[in-house]
């Protein structure tokens, strides 16, 4: 089986962790490296969590590099209230035996894509600071990457970090605009599809009953996340933001409806961080780089595949 080489860039909180467990359980994925970034939690803690997850999954040869500790043009803001003080639902999982590598996450992106040009798919499920910095250092990076699957943005759906902005874009809008303008094949997996792709009671019960390492860990860390989402949904269920971006990187046929547009990121005023595309039927391409924006996905098939990977 041909395996997709994945470089994961993540602010390793709870749904990032589930995305890692998903990738670890997929025979068609080869996780080549992880880079951390600020966002849900500080970048150093995100790297420590990536190492914890890799150790749990027996992936001890996958390097982890620490990435950007703050956004490009605004102060650091974190979201421990969603992911727990430790970013993993406060379950007290012990630290990994390994330490992060000596290079930065930005250097790691540039090095690995230079070693394997055209082979690496980047799955970016945190703020896009590392990718933006890497593009600033070496704009030719865009020609060396196979594709980029970003969890971020919202088109019709309301924001989750502000009334109009999705969290990963809100955390570093300047970096996001660099990524959308770089001219590489990008898919923006936003709230329009991730909020509709959820774990509900039946699947949570199935995960609880799996008795597998990945399933047990997912079930433990998800309890904190479910507590948070239960307050807004009124039912004990949660969206699968980062796992869906990882899934689409491996299998774009989950996408059932999409728009292919240039994406603008609002950089000023109260809608800073909002992602904007032209949805008018008479839209004509402006010549700017285009991004795939899924608007509907096969959530049932993806959730079933996620459960299989956790098993």
Q: Which residues bind Ca ion (CB under 5 A)?
A: 11, 16, 125-126, 242
Min. distance of Cβ 118 from Ca ion in angstroms? 26
167 binds, among ligand RIB, Ca ion, none (CB under 5 to 8 A by kind): ligand RIB
Closer to ligand RIB by CB, 22 or 110: give it: 22
Question: Least distance from C-beta 156 to ligand RIB, angstroms?
Answer: 15
With CB cut-offs between 5 and 8 Å by kind, which of Ca ion, ligand RIB, none does residue 299 bind?
Answer: none
Q: In this complex, which beta carbon is closest to ligand RIB, that of residue 96 or of residue 125?
A: 125
Taking the least distance from each CB to Ca ion, the nearer of 180 and 225 is 225
For residue 215, give every residue at least 6 positions away whose Cβ sits within 8 Å of its Cβ, in sequence order, or none.
207, 208, 310, 311
Give me the least distance between CB of 286 and Ca ion, in Å please. 30
Instruction: Point out which residues bind ligand RIB (CB under 6 A).
Output: 11, 13, 15-16, 39-40, 125-126, 151, 160, 166-168, 241-242
Determine whether 93 is an active site residue. Answer: no
Residue nearest ligand RIB by beta-carbon distance:
167
Tell the smallest beta-carbon distance from residue 11 to ligand RIB (Å): 5
- Name the active-site residue from 93, 171, 224, 241: 241
Residue 16 beta carbon to Ca ion: minimum distance, rounded to whole angstroms: 4
Indicate the residue among 16 and 305 with the shorter CB distance to ligand RIB. 16
The entry of Ca ion, ligand RIB, none that residue 20 binds, CB within 5 to 8 Å by partner kind: none
Return the number of the residue (212 or 223) whose C-beta is nearest Ca ion. 223
Q: Annotated active-site positions, please?
A: 241
């Amino acid at each position: 089986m041909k395996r997709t080489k994945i470089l994961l860039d993540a602010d390793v909180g709870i749904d990032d962790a589930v995305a890692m467990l998903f990738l670890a359980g997929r025979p068609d994925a080869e996780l080549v490296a992880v880079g951390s970034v600020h966002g849900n939690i500080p970048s150093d803690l995100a790297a420590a969590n990536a190492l914890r997850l890799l150790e749990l999954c027996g992936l001890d040869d996958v390097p982890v590099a620490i990435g950007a500790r703050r956004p490009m043009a605004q102060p650091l803001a974190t979201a421990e209230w969603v992911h727990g003080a430790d970013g993993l639902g406060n379950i007290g999982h012990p630290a990994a035996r390994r330490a992060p590598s000596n290079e930065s996450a930005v250097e790691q992106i540039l090095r690995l894509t230079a070693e394997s040009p055209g082979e690496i798919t980047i799955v970016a499920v945190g703020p896009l600071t590392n990718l933006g910095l890497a593009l600033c250092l070496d704009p030719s990076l865009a020609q060396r990457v196979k594709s980029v699957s970003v969890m971020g943005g919202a088109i019709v759906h309301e924001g989750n970090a502000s009334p109009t902005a999705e969290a990963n874009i809100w955390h570093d809008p300047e970096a996001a605009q660099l990524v959308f303008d770089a001219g590489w094949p990008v898919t923006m997996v936003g709230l329009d599809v991730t909020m509709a792709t959820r774990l509900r009671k039946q699947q949570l019960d199935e995960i609880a009953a799996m008795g597998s390492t990945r399933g047990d860990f997912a079930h433990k860390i998800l309890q904190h996340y479910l507590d948070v989402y239960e307050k807004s949904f009124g039912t004990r269920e949660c969206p699968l933001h980062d796992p869906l971006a990882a899934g689409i990187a491996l299998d774009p046929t989950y996408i059932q409806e999409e728009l292919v547009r240039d994406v603008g990121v609002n950089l000023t005023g109260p809608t800073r961080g909002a992602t904007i595309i032209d949805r008018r039927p008479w839209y004509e391409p402006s010549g700017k780089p285009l991004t795939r924006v899924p608007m509907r996905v096969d959530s049932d098939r993806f959730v079933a595949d996620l459960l299989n990977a956790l098993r």
